[in-house]
Structure 1
Amino acid sequence: MFILNSFSFKIDKRIKESLDRMGFYEPTEVQGLAIPEILSGRDVVIKSMTGSGKTAAFLIPAIQRALGSKFFNTVLIVLPTRELALQTYSVALNISRNFFRTTVVYGGSSMEKQIHDLRDSKIIIGTPGRIIDLINRDLLNLEHVCMFILDEADMMLDMGFIDDIYKIIENLPEKRQNVLASATMPERLDDMIKNLMNDPELIAVSNGYTPKTIVHDYTIIPEHKKFSALLSYIDENRDMKRIIFVRTKHGAVVLSEILNKCGFKNVTLHGDMRQRSREISIKRFRNYRSGIMIATNVAARGIDIPDVDEIINFDAPIDDIKSYSHRAGRSGRFGRPGHALTIFTEKQKNMINEIEMKNNVKMDHKIIKINDVYYNIDYRDIINNIQ
């Protein structure tokens, strides 16, 4: 059974059975610290990096709270992106099973179905825009919300959702429990915490990068040899599940075409894709035993696929250095071994130390031997033929 360290408090037997069935026998550090505080009813701020298990840290008490309430719309969980909302919804369904209805609401999907499901849901998970839209249409009543959870709060600020969050808060009952979770705690969050929360307990797990099971490597490759080096490297072991990060949508399309030409199974994920296309890509990648997802930073936070063996930064995250930890954290989930390889060009190698310091990691130098087969490919011809 799921044992929460030495804490003695009650969780419904059905939740424990679900966790046992999911293989969660021991809590992560953040779960062991946060769950009892949230169950006690007090406001809680969780600072914990990606991959630490913070989603379950607030979902377990949220499901317990919903089970004990006679009202619908008992718990409201707000996240910044559709991918994050869908991922949290998936975890919630796995834990709560058939105890009650949980509904996820987000833009780009059928509002009619979401409206239908809202009628008898106890937990609502959604993005700010769709939640506000439903409120404005008088289709979402929040008068019985007793627990409000704001996840990825730092990302909310970065994406400009601060006004939307306050608009949602205006529609919540004054008497409620608040939980705020964030990978980082920038000073800009201070005002939100003061306005939103009542004497919150701070749960801070690790100041730096959390997963200790990830090996970090880097290589330095001339710009014109990057494709050849990447293909040579991934060809050494095709039986791996990888996410390759690129900087732009165009870069994702180009790399996908090159991988297709060379016989590497892959899907893409970037911000310009329609929601249906995103969902298909994620589903296909989940079902891969081995294969590649090519992604922009849209996937660095919010895609929780536990069996990713390795991430490769084809484009080093030099414009957003702290995003390195979010990218790397797609591998090594929940204590599994993982690997992160970053490709730097000669002009970028002065950024290596800064990335290490700001993400609290140590990267080792790896030499990649370029295979002649991939060195002699005319990549320009492939790129020029992309429509």
Structure 2
Amino acid sequence: MQQKKYSIETALAGLKIAALNDMQKASLEANVEHDNILLLSATGSGKTLAFLLPLLEKLDFTTKKTEALIIVPSRELALQIEQVLRSMSTGAKVTCCYGGHLRETEEKNLVEPPSIIVGTPGRLADHIRRGNITIDSIKTLVLDEFDKSLEAGFQDEIAFIIGSLPGIQKRILTSATEAVDVPEFVGFENYFLLNFLNEEGEEQERLAIKKVISEDRDKIETLFKLLCYFGARPTIIFCNHRDAVERTSTLLSERGIYSEFYHGAMEQRDRDSALGKFRNGSVSFLVTTDLAARGLDIPHIRYIIHYHLPATQDIFTHRNGRTARMEASGTAILLLSTEEKVPAYVTEEVEEIELPEELELPERSKWTTFFIAAGKKNKVNKVDIVGFLSNKGQLKKEDIGLIEVKDFFSFVAVRRSKASLTLTLVRNEKIKNQKVKIEIAK
């Protein structure tokens, strides 16, 4: 019988959070008294914890049935929520289901029903149609970033999923914008609204909005100078199209600035690699579409650059939400050609940055990223990787950075100056009696 290991104190300790914020406290209290909750709160304010805590409070930790389903618009958000749950040391089994992941792996994980399933609409609907999910026991439904799911065209899949769940007792919907119209199929009668979007005064103070004028319509030379001006500070550069993302990243590379690019047409491993390098500091610059505007919880992002102007105010808000998260500050930059104007929805005064003539390339990162062809399904964890690199690769603790373990592979940041020797030392060694490929992540 699975015993309840979960407590709020344990969860916060696992996440290295000292205390709940006001929004999270209000969510806990409201969920005690109300079955249907609509939570509106700014990106980066801690919404994930605000719905996970009430969900966990309602779990029966002694049953071996699926009791909660969390539906999200993107695989990145699904993986992020899964990671938060694991860090909370709940004692509850969680399974993540999303497109681009091996369905056979997910099916094996669902044979013994997990307490919590988190996933994207298309893959969850597929599992339900195949009979892989025990739907009768699901009592709690969370629709995270619900407005984004509707924008992405998932309405039919979500309607099918909800229509397949006969025992729903609690529904929690979250959004970072008020532009959310809840369809009837959600069954969201008499919901209680928690609106923390209006308490933005402090957030606005933490987020500065500035502009840079480019004399060239193409703007790439101005972007290059701007990144030199900022230096190697974590920065996300938003473009409106996938081809522009790759082109911009390539042109920066030709000028001596290394960046990773990220968009929805990439293979999952390549997407994981790009985010892993950005998250662990191997690169300071991520060029991306609006795919990265939601769901990515990467701390300490200092700058957001709107290389292309966002199509709507909502997109502008969500892009900017990648910085100035929680108590941190950040700056959003509008990179404008002489033909472009500051959007009308930007009502505050926007300071213009004048770039100096003499600039130096940003410093190269002291980290590089190893790809290790083994992960959770190979029974390899972070402790195994640290031990292997320390014992076989002769690395000291301070030479090993952030480690991310996926199902069948892992990424680990290694001090660049030690990387070549370490690869040579571990070439014929085994991790947990397994010979695996280890190389610099592409």
Q: 1:41 to 1:201 in 2, by over 3 A?
A: closer
Q: 5 Å matches for 1:255-294?
A: 255-288=248-281, 291-294=284-287
- 1:247 alignment partner in structure 2: 240
- 2:354 alignment partner in structure 1: 367
Residue by residue over 1:316-366, the C-alpha shift from the partner in whole angstroms, topping out at 9 and shown as x without a partner, is 21x2232111111111111111111110112211xx251314xxx543222
Q: 1:224 to 1:347 in 2, by over 3 A?
A: closer
Look up the equivalent residue of 2:172 and give its one-letter code.
Answer: V
CA distance in 1, matches of 2:5, 2:54: 10
Shift of 1:229: 1.6
- 5+ unaligned residues in a row in structure 1: which ranges? 1-10, 375-387
Equivalent position SS for 1:223: coil
- 1:166 alignment partner in structure 2: 159
Whether 1:183 aligns to 2:176 is: yes
CA distance in 2, matches of 1:70, 1:225: 59
Shift of 1:222: 2.3
Q: 1:81 to 1:21 in 2, by over 3 A?
A: closer
Look up the equivalent residue of 2:86 and give its one-letter code.
Answer: L
Shift of 1:290: 5.5
Shift of 1:19: 0.6
- 1:116 alignment partner in structure 2: 108
- 2:220 alignment partner in structure 1: 227
Look up the equivalent residue of 1:146 and give its one-letter code.
Answer: K
| Maintained 8 Å contact 2:207/2:324 | yes
Task: Give the counterpart of 1:126 among 105, 119, 134.
Answer: 119
Look up the equivalent residue of 2:96 and give its one-letter code.
Answer: V
**TM-score, normalisation: structure 1:** 0.85
- 1:330 alignment partner in structure 2: 322
Q: 1:254 to 1:353 in 2, by over 3 A?
A: closer
CA distance in 1, matches of 2:216, 2:199: 31
Equivalent position SS for 1:215: strand
Q: 1:12 to 1:64 in 2, by over 3 A?
A: farther
- 1:37 alignment partner in structure 2: 30
- 1:154 alignment partner in structure 2: 147
Equivalent position SS for 1:260: helix
| Maintained 8 Å contact 2:215/2:337 | yes
| Maintained 8 Å contact 1:66/1:123 | no
- 5+ unaligned residues in a row in structure 2: which ranges? 362-442
CA distance in 1, matches of 2:282, 2:12: 24
| Maintained 8 Å contact 2:113/2:133 | no
CA distance in 2, matches of 1:90, 1:209: 28
Task: Give the counterpart of 1:197 among 180, 188, 196.
Answer: 188
- 2:346 alignment partner in structure 1: 356
Higher RCO (CA 8 Å, separation ≥ 6 residues): 1
CA distance in 2, matches of 1:168, 1:355: 36
| Maintained 8 Å contact 1:310/1:339 | yes
Shift of 1:158: 0.9
Shift of 1:225: 6.3
Q: Which has the higher helix share?
A: 1
| Maintained 8 Å contact 1:241/1:289 | no
CA distance in 2, matches of 1:29, 1:218: 33
| Maintained 8 Å contact 1:267/1:293 | yes
Equivalent position SS for 2:346: helix
Look up the equivalent residue of 1:206 and give its one-letter code.
Answer: L
Equivalent position SS for 1:356: coil
Equivalent position SS for 2:319: helix
Task: Give the counterpart of 2:99 among 107, 114, 119.
Answer: 107
Q: 1:39 to 1:220 in 2, by over 3 A?
A: same
CA distance in 1, matches of 2:140, 2:332: 37
Residue by residue over 1:44-94, the C-alpha shift from the partner in whole angstroms, topping out at 9 and shown as x without a partner, is 111122111111100122223225462421110001111111122121221
Q: 1:294 to 1:176 in 2, by over 3 A?
A: same
Q: 1:261 to 1:221 in 2, by over 3 A?
A: same
Task: Give the counterpart of 1:341 among 328, 333, 344.
Answer: 333
Equivalent position SS for 1:235: helix
RMSD: 2.3
Shift of 1:208: 7.7
| Maintained 8 Å contact 1:220/1:343 | yes
CA distance in 1, matches of 2:199, 2:357: 34
Residue-pair matches, total: 355
CA distance in 2, matches of 1:109, 1:185: 32
**TM-score, normalisation: structure 2:** 0.75
CA distance in 1, matches of 2:359, 2:90: 56
- 2:429 alignment partner in structure 1: none
Q: 5 Å matches for 1:17-32?
A: 17-32=10-25
